[in-house]
Structure 1
Amino acid sequence: MMSPLKYVFNVRFVLLTAVILSLLITCGATFWAAHTLKKELLREREENLNVLLAHTAEVLKPLLKFKIKKEIQRVLGELLRFDFVNGARVHWQEPSIYKELRQLDVLLGKDIKEAPPEFEISVGQLKGKIISYPLKEGDETIGFLEIAIDDSPYQKIIQKTVFNFVLTGLMLSLTLVGLIYFYHHLVTRPIVSLANHIERLKGEKREDQLEPFPAIQAPAEIKQLIEAFNRLIVRINQYQERLESTLEQWRLEARRAESASRAKTEFLANVSHEIRTPITSALGMVELLKEGPLTEEQRQQLKNLTIALKNLNELFNQTLDFARFEVGAPEIKEETFDLKGLVEECLALFKPTLSRKGLEGRLILPDRLPLFVGDPGKLKQIIINLLSNAVKFTQEGEISLEVKVLRQTPDFYWTRISVRDTGEGIQPDQLENIFVPFERLEETFERPYAGVGLGLAIAQRLAKILGGKLWAESQGKGHGAAFHLEIPLKLASPKASKELPPKKFTGRVLLAEDNPVNQLYFRKVLEKLGFEVEVASDGFEAFRLAREKEFDLLLLDIRMPGLDGLEVTRRLRQEGYRGVIFALTAHAVSDIEKEAQQAGFDGFLAKPITRKELAQKLAHWLS
């Protein structure tokens, strides 16, 4: 939209241009009119003079013939009656025939008085322009009639005409300026006012009602424009009211959705805590029982119980992961990790199962792999899901885990991680369905398998979050299957190096855990790892002991009676505590991680956790 200043500038420019053009046109028209009038007057005067001279010549001829000078002077004097004639003169010479007749008379002896062969008579003053008219007798020129004319009367007429034209031009210019100003005042100013009004409307707040343009004196067309604008303003105000109402409904729905999401998150957190706590206790007690004297039958029963508990924990974890995806995509961490060690650790988790089923596990790695930066937890979860799926559906043969670098840039390694098995295989037309949540292909297998159909769906979603893709290949039933994960891995800085964990732990640990069974399990495990352990049953006791005694490590349960682990850590950090504090939680780490980091935790231990996993994590953190 053009600014008001621009409108004013245009009107002034048009006004000035109109005045200049008017003056130029007036000057041009005046010059042309004067020139044309002058030519016309001169032409008319010339015609009149020719008529006058011709008439005078006819009158003078007989007078000249008889040399009647007084009459000749009188006729010439008549010419002076015209204002433009200053003087007149006639020059006459005797015709040749008169000379011959006079000579004949002389020969005949007649006494003829000699007359002058030519004479000249003038009246007035011969000043000015001389116009000559020949006097003829037949074809013979016998004299000239000359008059002296004065152009001043004609010049006065021309000057008067020019003045009238200039005056008319000025009047026309003033009239044009007046018309332009009137047009500006009557037409342009209302339009400029409307433009300024629109500019003011642009600066108003969105929630304010737009004001219509006030009624003004203007031509009918401008009034029609203003009325159309005001109708538009009314429509906009109505639309804005409806929009605000809709936005308010959306805000209400968003608050409801946010409230529902919070409720869902809290529900998942509560379910996670309430289910993982007894699973942790059960697994811990099973591990402690395994260390005592048992019969072979009892060991087998404990082994089956461990498998059942782990399957229950895996099923629960998958259900929680899928529920979190429905709420929103999880955040991606940035940690330095060793890919070689990560895949070795993943395959090592399944060695007992592979050995029990008589399967061979092969790991195929490049000669050298650098350190990478990314989210090793999510990458590990994908690989474990793929290995778990392969182990589940393979009864004989082997399972291989291969890492292959496809291409590399200065910052990234495009890596393919493949899990191949010699299991039952998948029909080619079912390869896409296996990634659909809760989709199970039991009708294509000869025997039923445990699970709810979430592992591969979660793995594929995690692959997308990490910027990669996951797909399956199979030649059909009985030909096994291969799962491929392609993912870009960011190179770690050259300064990053893999730290070796200590082989033996020492130091004092404060264990804050309200569940007696978990207290017993974690205390036994920590003591066997080499730690000296002191137990607190609630948050207040943990806070008091941490202030009164020195510990190398604090293991605080997130949810405890009195003060929870978050509040204990927050208060300790506010008082300047610089020791290492780890969260011991049955919540999903992703659900509590942000809040725990803000409170001051250094790391997390997610329940349930085995003795081996606890040792590995403590070794990694305490190194």
Structure 2
Amino acid sequence: MTHSFEEIFVENTIKTNRRFMYLIFFSNAAAPLIAVGTWLKFFQISYTSCMEIFLTTVVISHFIWWLNHHKEWHEFTKFIGLLMVEILIMRLAMNASIGIYISYAFIPLFSCLYVDQMLTIIMNLIGYFALAASLYFRSFDQIAKYGSIFTARQWFLSYLMGFTIEFVFLFAITLSIVKYERELLKSLSGHIVRQVEAEQTSMVRTKFFAKLSHELRTPLNAICGLTDLLKEKDLEEESRKYVETIDTSSKAMLEIVNSLLDISKIYTDKMTIQKGPVDLRALTEDTIRLASFSVEKKIPIKLELDRSLPKYIVGDRTAFTRILLNLLNNALKYTDEGKITVRILWKDKEEDAGILHLEVEDTGRGIAPSDLDRIFEEYAQTADAERIKYTGTGLGLAVCRNYVELLEGRIWAKSGVGIGSVFYVEIPTVSTEEAPKEKTKEKFKPSFQAPEARVLIVDDKRTNIQVLAELLKPYRMKLSPCLSGEQAVELIKSGRHFDLVFMDYYMPGIDGKEATKQIHELEKDKGKKTVVVALSANPAEIICKEFEDTEIAGALQKPVNREDLNAVLEQCIDASLRSE
């Protein structure tokens, strides 16, 4: 992509050369028109001159076209094009003086298209001296033809003086135009450079967050997966408490990873919302419990709910959770004593519609009013030295703002140093009678078993294979582990058949996308391709983007939960392999 001033300057030179080439080439149409005019007695120009104009324009335009395709001749081509246009104007003019005057006036203006100060100066001088020479030679004709009280020299000097004054003004105007054009070009190139750098930074940052998220979710996949399996066991009360603690801690860690993923999606404009029924009271209580557990501070969090608040509203559960959790985490981080209050109101009620009004108030250090406008930016920090000592990702409030904007709401804050802060969120929504689908706490039972189904699990982390194998155990399938994309391709190449392949995306060597492509390429003559389900730390819609141009049957986000896994198996395992 062209972005530096020099590159834009060269590109402009090439384009302007091309414009003059077309101008010269199409001016050959004047030759037959002049010939027709001569035939009709409108002009008195010989047919030889018409042919001369025609051939000259064709030859010169093709010559400029050839020069323009050679970088080393770009500068030379500028002069050729302008001089040819100047000669054509003079040649086509019925009156030579008019032709010279037109070329003297217009060629310096045409030269401004090149945004080259030296070229404009040269073309101004060439036009001026050509005009002076024309005036000098025509002065003798004027005196001889019409007679005058002036001598030829006096006639020449008087006209030259007038044109010199015009030249000075034309010279100043054209140089000012070129100077302004160069400033605009430099400004444009600077803007393009900043835009390209921002895009490159965003791309690198997005890849970094995606990779970081994957690396963090890999151990979390094992922790969350095995914890879910442990929760289904018959444990002693003390052991169950330990498992619940591990589960809550891993979910708190998962929320941090999700914030990284959210900010990655913000940079790429991929953040989306999925609306459905939400039990706001239950969601708020769960989020408060999670936020309280994630910090060691014993700051009480008080919940105040509007009595008119409907039991269920329509919204994005994930978005509501992230907004409230990030606001609570922010409040807990900067509050050392006192309390935090969460208020949820139902405002501007009109039938089922209303405004969900959320307040998170703390008694912490507070924020200077001058910093309130920038606290919702990524990585923003206030100038308060006391607040700087508190660590964090710097992403929480930015994630809140983006989720609120996606929900067509607004977010703002009121605060002052030493008096605490209040964060406000207002989101338009509607109430609903439909209850959200609750996850059952009963022991999971698979919808079918498939003892004859052969399943290949491809992942470079043994713990991920172990977790997925444990989750698949109730289905009684024949499982085969595989630690690399290369190994998976070799298994298919050796003639092994699998009814389903779970393929991780991020792997050293051949990644999941390339391995899937190679597997399907090996099977293109068989008429039936191996069913592949993609695994990644990213949400399903981004996984499908990662496996773009690759035929996959489904996608699962790590940590894998049983419900999503069961849905994928229902879709991908052939009915002939199942048994109830």
**TM-score where L is the length of structure 1:** 0.49
> Which residue does the alignment assign to 2:112?
235
User: For 1:235-274, what aligned pairs fall within 5 Å after superposition?
Assistant: 235-237=112-114, 239=116, 262-274=203-215
**1:72-111 equivalences in 2 (<5 Å):** none
Deviations 1:89-129 (A, max 9, x none): xxxxxxxxxxxxxxxxxxxxxxxxxxxxxxxxxxxxxxxxx
The reply to whether residue 565 of structure 1 matches residue 512 of structure 2 is: yes
Q: CA deviation at 1:605?
A: 3.6
Aligned to 1:338: 276
* Residue of structure 2 equivalent to 1:599: 550
Contact 1:463 1:470 in 2 (8 A): yes
Q: Is the 8 A contact 1:321 1:458 kept in 2?
A: yes
Q: Quick check: 342-351 or 569-578, which moved more?
A: 569-578
Query: CA contact under 8 A between 2:411 and 2:423: conserved in structure 1?
Result: no
Q: Secondary structure at the match of 1:212?
A: helix
In the alignment, the residues of structure 2 paired with residue 599 and residue 483 of structure 1 have an alpha-carbon distance, to the nearest angstrom, of: 44
Q: Does 1:536 align with 2:485?
A: no
Residue 513 of structure 1 aligns to which amino acid in structure 2? D
Q: Distance in 1 between matches of 2:464 and 2:261?
A: 22
Identity %: 20
The residue type paired with residue 228 of structure 1 is A
Q: Which moved more, 1:222-231 or 1:582-591?
A: 582-591
Cα offset, 1:557, TM superposition: 1.6
Q: Deviations over 1:394-413 (max 9, x none)?
A: 7776754637465789xx96
Query: Which of the residues 456, 469, 474 maps onto 2:397?
Result: 456
1:520 lines up with 2:466 in the alignment: yes
Aligned to 1:382: 323
Structure 1: which amino acid aligns with 2:400?
A: A
Q: What residue identity is the alignment partner of 2:213?
A: S
The code of the aligned residue for 1:558 comes to Y
Opposite residue 358 of structure 2, the aligned amino acid is S
Aligned partner letter, 2:344: E
Deviation at 1:333, TM superposition (A): 3.6
Distance, in Å, in 2 between the alignment partners of 1:580 and 1:417 is 47
Cα distance, 1:338 vs structure 2: 0.9
Contact kept in structure 2, 1:422 and 1:479, CA below 8 Å: yes
2:456–2:481: 8 Å Cα contact kept in structure 1?
Answer: yes
Q: CA RMSD in A?
A: 6.1
SS of corresponding position for 2:424: strand
Look up the equivalent residue of 1:402 and give its one-letter code: I
Residues paired across the two proteins, number: 420
Name the residue aligned to 1:45.
none
Q: Is the 8 A contact 1:415 1:488 kept in 2?
A: yes
Q: CA deviation at 1:418?
A: 1.4
Q: Spell out, residue by residue over 1:497-531, the C-alpha distance to the aligned partner (whole angstroms, 9 max, x if none).
A: 98788974334576433311222223334547x67
- For the pair 1:348 / 2:286, whether they are aligned, the reply is yes
- Return the index of the structure with the highest Cα Rg: 1
Counting only pairs closer than 5 Å after superposition, residues 168-247 of structure 1 correspond to structure 2 as: 212-213=85-86, 214=88, 215-216=90-91, 217-237=94-114, 239=116
Q: How far apart are the structure 2 equivalents of 1:348 and 1:480?
A: 23
Which AA in structure 2 matches 1:458?
V
Q: Is contact 1:418–1:485 with CA below 8 Å preserved after alignment? A: yes
Correspondence for 2:497 among 541, 548, 558: 548
Q: Is the 8 A contact 1:284 1:521 kept in 2?
A: yes
Matching of residue 402 in structure 1 with residue 275 in structure 2: no
Asked if the contact 1:269/1:591 (under 8 Å) is kept, the reply is no
Question: AA paired with 1:212?
Answer: V
Q: Which residue of 2 aligns with 1:118?
A: none
Q: How does 1:267-282 map to 2 (within 5 A)?
A: 267-282=208-223
Whether the 8 Å contact between 1:472 and 1:482 is mirrored in structure 2 is yes
CA contact (8 A) 2:291 2:329 kept: no
8 Å contact from structure 1 (residues 569, 581) kept in 2: yes
- In 1, Cα distance between the equivalents of 2:415 and 2:278? 26
Q: Gaps (5+ residues) in structure 2?
A: 1-26, 31-40, 70-76, 120-180, 572-580
Q: Is the 8 Å Cα contact of residues 270 and 587 (structure 1) preserved in structure 2?
A: no
Distance 1:292 1:359, change over 3 A: farther
* 1:420 equivalent in alignment to 2:360: yes
Distance in 1, Cα, partners of 2:466 & 2:115: 69
Structure-1 residue corresponding to 2:425 = 484
Structure 1 position 218, deviation (Å): 1.5
The residue number in structure 2 matching 1:57 is: none
The 3 A distance-change label for structure 1 pair 501 and 586 is closer
Deviation of residue 484 (structure 1)?
0.7
**Structure 1 unpaired stretches of 5+:** 8-177
- Alpha-carbon contact 1:324-1:330 (below 8 Å) kept: yes
CA contact (8 A) 1:474 1:480 kept: yes
SS of 1:416's equivalent in the other structure is: strand
1:585 aligns with 2:536: yes
Whole-angstrom distance in 1 between the partners of 2:428 and 2:470: 41
Q: Distance in 1 between matches of 2:203 and 2:397?
A: 27
Q: What secondary structure, in the 3-state scheme, does the structure 2 residue paired with 1:270 have? A: helix
Residue by residue over 1:250-291, the C-alpha shift from the partner in whole angstroms, topping out at 9 and shown as x without a partner, is 989987876665555444443333343234345556666776
Distance 2:415 2:503 in 1: 47
1:52 corresponds to which residue?
none
Shift of 1:455: 0.6
Tell me if structure 1 keeps the 8 A contact 2:220–2:250: yes
CA distance change for structure 1 residues 366 and 250 in 2, over 3 Å: closer, same or farther?
A: closer
Please state how far the C-alpha of 1:388 moved relative to its aligned partner: 3.8
Matches of 1:400 and 1:250, distance apart in 2: 44
Distance 1:519 1:468 in 2: 42
Q: Distance in 1 between matches of 2:365 and 2:97?
A: 84
Q: In the alignment, is the contact (CA less than 8 A) between 1:330 and 1:590 conserved in 2? A: no
Corresponding letter in the other structure for 2:545: K
Q: TM-score, normalised by structure 2?
A: 0.52
Give the SS at the match of 2:412.
strand
